A and B are shown apart, each in its own frame.
Chain A
Amino acid sequence: MEDDILPSDTAVEDAPVGGTSGDESDRRRIKELWVSGTEEPAWVTASTDEGAQEMLPREQELAAELHAQEGTSVLDDRLYEEDVIADETNIINMGPQHPSTHGVLRLQLELEGEIVRRAKPVIGYLHTGMEKTAETLTYLQGGTNVTRMDYLAPLHNELCFSLATERLLEVELPPRAMAIRILMTELNRISSHLVWAATQGMDIGALSMMIYGLRERELILAFFEKVTGLRMNHNYIRPGGVAADLPDGWEEDVVRILEVIPQGMEEYKDLLTGQPIFLERTQGVGVITADEAMAYGLGGPMLRASGVAWDLRKSEPYSGIENYEFDVPIGEHGDVYDRYMVRMAEIHESVKIVRQVLETMPDGDYRTGDLKVTPPPRARIDESMEALIHHFKIFTEGFKVPLGEVYQAIESPRGELGHYLVADGTAKPWRLHVRAPSFVNIQTLPVMMADQLLADAVATIASTDPVMGDCDR
Chain B
Amino acid sequence: MSVDPPVAPKPGHPILDVLVDGFDYDMSMGEHVVRLDADQMVGFVGEAKSVGFESCMELTVVDYYRRRPVRYELVLVLLSRKHNLRLRIMVPVDEEKPIVPSLTELYPGTGFFEREVFDMFGISFEGNPDMTRILMPDDWVGHPLRKDFSVGSVPVQFRDAHKVT
Give the B-binding residues of A (Cβ under 8 A): 51-53, 62-65, 68, 73-74, 123-124, 127, 129, 131-133, 136, 167-168, 294-299, 308-311, 314-316, 327-330, 332, 345, 404-407, 409, 416, 418, 420, 422, 424, 430-431, 433, 435, 439-440, 442-444, 472-473
Contacts and interface: CB of A to CB of B under 8 A. Distances in A.
Closest 10 A/B residue pairs (Cβ): A51-B138, A65-B129, A327-B2, A296-B109, A64-B129, A297-B109, A73-B108, A433-B60, A124-B135, A309-B3
A132 B145 contact: yes
Interface stretch (B18-26, B39-47, B50-58, B92-100): B50-58
A52 B133 contact: yes
A330 B107 CA distance: 24
A168 B5 contact: no
B67 interface: yes
Contact of A123 (B2, B54, B81, B134): B134
A435 B57 CA distance: 8
B55 A330 contact: no
A440 B110 CA distance: 9
A314 B4 CA distance: 8
Among B55, B77, B79, residue most surrounded by chain A Cβ atoms (within 10 Å)? B55
A68 B58 contact: no
Given A52-B138, A297-B57, A416-B57, A316 B77 contact: no
A73 B29 CA distance: 35
Interface in B96-142: 104-105, 107-112, 116, 120, 127, 129-130, 132-139
Given A296-B108, A296-B109, A407 B81 contact: no
Given A132-B151, A295-B108, A443-B112, A328 B4 contact: yes
A283 B146 CA distance: 46
Contact of A315 (B3, B58, B84, B130): B84
A273 to B, nearest CB: 15
Contact of A418 (B7, B77, B127, B135): B77
6 contacts: A74-B108, A127-B136, A136-B151, A309-B5, A440-B109, A472-B135
Given A136-B151, A315-B6, A315-B7, 7 more contacts: A68-B130, A345-B2, A406-B31, A407-B31, A407-B58, A407-B88, A433-B75
Contacts of A431: 62-63, 145
A338 B129 CA distance: 32
Contacts of B3: 309, 328, 330
Contacts of A407: 31, 58, 75, 77, 86, 88
Nearest to B31: A407
A295 B111 CA distance: 11
A68 B31 contact: no
Contact of B60 (A315, A345, A420): A420
Contacts of A310: 5, 81
B88 to A, nearest CB: 6
A297 B114 CA distance: 14
B9 interface: yes
Contacts of A473: 135
Given A68-B108, A418-B77, A297 B5 contact: no
Contacts of B165: none
Interface of B: 1-9, 28-31, 54-58, 60, 62-63, 67, 75, 77, 79, 81, 84, 86, 88, 104-105, 107-112, 116, 120, 127, 129-130, 132-139, 144-145, 151
Among B5, B7, B62, B136, residue most surrounded by chain A Cβ atoms (within 10 Å)? B5
B139 to A, nearest CB: 8
B1 A330 contact: yes
Contacts of B31: 406-407
Contact of B81 (A168, A294, A472): A294
A53 B132 contact: yes
Contacts of B28: 404-405
B108 A406 contact: no
Nearest to B8: A315
A103 to B, nearest CB: 14
A197 to B, nearest CB: 20
Nearest to B67: A424
A332 B86 CA distance: 25
Contacts of B133: 52-53, 124
Given A73-B108, A131-B145, A404-B28, A418 B130 contact: no
B108 A294 contact: no
Contact of A68 (B7, B8, B111): B111
Given A124-B134, A316-B9, A295 B109 contact: yes
Nearest to B104: A64
B51 to A, nearest CB: 15
Nearest to A128: B135
A431 B74 CA distance: 13
Given A297-B57, A430-B62, A439-B112, A65 B5 contact: no
Contacts of A309: 2-5
Nearest to B62: A431
Given A64-B129, A297-B107, A435-B57, A420 B151 contact: no
Nearest to A51: B138
Given A127-B136, A430-B62, A472-B135, A65 B130 contact: yes
Contact of A409 (B57, B81, B104): B57
A457 B57 CA distance: 26
Given A296-B108, A430-B62, A315 B129 contact: no
B60 A124 contact: no
